[in-house]
Amino acid sequence: MPQSPPALDDDPTPAIRRLKLWIRMLGVTRQAENQLREYLRVEHDTTLPRFDVMAALYRFHDGLTMTELSRTLLISNGNATTVVNRLVQDGLIMRIHSDEDRRRITVRLTPKGISTFETVATGHRDMIDRLFSGIEGTELDQMRDSLRALRDGMAADTGSSAGA
């Protein structure tokens, strides 16, 4: 009879430990995201994609073109357009057409959008604080620094392999 492969817990190699870390990170991310989605839906009658678009526009007070918004959020132009259309209908975002090129559209938060975002963002921050309240002080700083180093290492690796 063929033997079953060893369980992941039985293999201490760095590759398996990294795989287990990836699986754990995915699980934590999905759990936090699900709780955030539910919070935004129940408490603010909004969605995470709407919040993300408003957050991007809040950071860029002068607005973003649709292409810039898509790149900032790492989503397709089509997905960005769908979310922006709803936010425009709700009076939270305005479209500004370029005088030089009518195809170039910049989107920006309206005053109502700014006010709404600030309210939702406060609740969002408090929810994140609750979700991560089990991590304190030095451990919080170490985890943040470790994830930053991981991100920077992946960016460097991607940059070196992109030209290959």
pLDDT at res. 6:
56
Domain of 34 in residue numbering reads as 11-45
DSSP state of 60: S
- Identify whether residues 53 and 38 lie together within a single domain: no
pLDDT at res. 83:
96
pLDDT at res. 157:
79
The DSSP-derived string for 63-128 is -EEHHHHHHHHT--HHHHHHHHHHHHHTTSEEEEE-SS-TT-EEEEE-HHHHHHHHHHHHHHHHHH
Angle separating helix axes 14-44 and 48-59, nearest 10 degrees: 90
- Identify whether residues 24 and 91 lie together within a single domain: no
Q: How far is CA 6 from the centre of its chain?
A: 36
pLDDT at res. 118:
98
pTM for the structure as a whole: 0.81
pLDDT at res. 43:
96
- Identify whether residues 101 and 90 lie together within a single domain: yes
Other Cβ atoms less than 10 A from the Cβ of 150: the count is 13
By residue count, the chain amounts to 164
Q: How far apart are CA 114 and CA 58, in angstroms?
A: 7
Query: How many domains, in total, are found in the chain?
Result: 2
**Is the pLDDT assigned to residue 148 strictly greater than 70?**
yes
Q: How far apart are CA 84 and CA 73, in angstroms?
A: 13
Residue 162 lies in a domain: no
Residue 132 lies in a domain: no
Q: How far apart are CA 132 and CA 11, in angstroms?
A: 30
**Is the pLDDT assigned to residue 7 strictly greater than 50?**
yes
118: closest CA among 61, 62, 164?
61
The token duo for 100 is 């030089």
CATH code of the domain in which 68 resides: 1.10.10.10
- Identify whether residues 54 and 73 lie together within a single domain: yes
- Identify whether residues 56 and 29 lie together within a single domain: no
Residue 145 lies in a domain: no
Residue 144 lies in a domain: no
- Identify whether residues 28 and 62 lie together within a single domain: no
Q: What is the mean pLDDT of residues 144-155?
A: 91
Inter-residue long-range contacts of 125-129, CB under 8 Å, 24+ positions, other chains counted: 127/35, 127/36, 127/39, 128/32, 128/36
Confidence of residue 164 (pLDDT cuts 50, 70, 90): very low
132: closest CA among 46, 35, 22, 43?
35
Residue 41 lies in a domain: yes
Confidence of residue 40 (pLDDT cuts 50, 70, 90): very high
- Identify whether residues 76 and 105 lie together within a single domain: yes
- Identify whether residues 68 and 114 lie together within a single domain: yes
- Identify whether residues 19 and 81 lie together within a single domain: no
Residue 146 lies in a domain: no
- Identify whether residues 26 and 80 lie together within a single domain: no
The model's pLDDT over 52-80, given as tens digits with 9 standing for 90+, comes to 999 999 999 999 999 999 999 999 999 99
**Is the pLDDT assigned to residue 123 strictly greater than 70?**
yes
